[in-house]
Amino acid sequence: MTEGQQAPVPGAIPMPAPVYRQELFAREATSWTQPLQAAVAAYLTVTGIANFLLVVLSIGALRSSLTEIYRRSGEIPAELVPSTVTSAIVFVVAFSTVLAIFQLALAAASYLRRWTWVFIVDMVYVGLGALLEVVGLLVRTANQVQNASPPGQRAVGTVEGMVALALLGWMVVATLRYGPWAMHRAPAPLT
């Protein structure tokens, strides 16, 4: 007997090692699963690319409006305004790049995998997008606030918000009816 092993007890019945099962239930796809995954992945891909392109295409307008705001405020010396505006634009472009990469990675995971945590992240992300657009639309219509963004950008945002709201509704119904990714639980096969 080697060091660390316990001596067998005379007359004891040897017990097999315990077998642990990760899941008692397996999730099976329904007719809603693949279309839901494709719709979420398409939404994330299109909005990620569209929002990044809108930021890149509006750099000129952003530069001129920020320059005007900083010059009018007088809080920043006139000679520092161009470098401050450039720094702000670099930050905005970097942030939109990171956000677009995140959305594309999430879209790939949504389409290729059926992980529950990805579904939850998708629901939160789509829900926040829908909520922000609905709140923005309500503020713009109630207060008749003049928005600094171009009308085309507002239209794209409104369409994104409506699609996000519809997609969120579908995800909630699928979750309540079947479960995450519209997959129902079935007993796992015994192995």
Place of tokens 């693949």: 34
- Residue 26 bridge partners (DSSP): 186
Residue 32: the pLDDT is 92
Query: pLDDT tens, 5-52?
Result: 677 677 777 767 666 555 566 778 889 999 999 999 999 999 999 989
Mean pLDDT of 110-116: 90
Which residues have CB under 8 Å from 122's CB, separation 6+?
A: 40, 44, 106, 110, 171
Tokens of 41: 């992945």
Mean pLDDT of 115-120: 92
Residue 85 above 70 pLDDT? yes
The phi-psi region of residue 14 (left if phi > 0; otherwise alpha if psi is between -120 and 50; otherwise beta) is beta
Q: What are phi and psi of 167, to 5 degrees?
A: -65, -40
Residue 73: the pLDDT is 84
What count of other Cβ atoms lies within 10 Å of the Cβ of residue 159? 13
Residue 147: the pLDDT is 56
Residue 184 above 60 pLDDT? yes
Nearest alpha-carbon partner for 31 in 138, 181, 190: 181
Residue 26, H or E segment: strand 25-29
Instruction: Report the Cα–Cα distance between both ends of the chain, in Å, rounded.
Output: 34
Residue 2 above 80 pLDDT? no
pTM, to two decimals: 0.76
Residue 29, H or E segment: strand 25-29
Residue 14: the pLDDT is 72
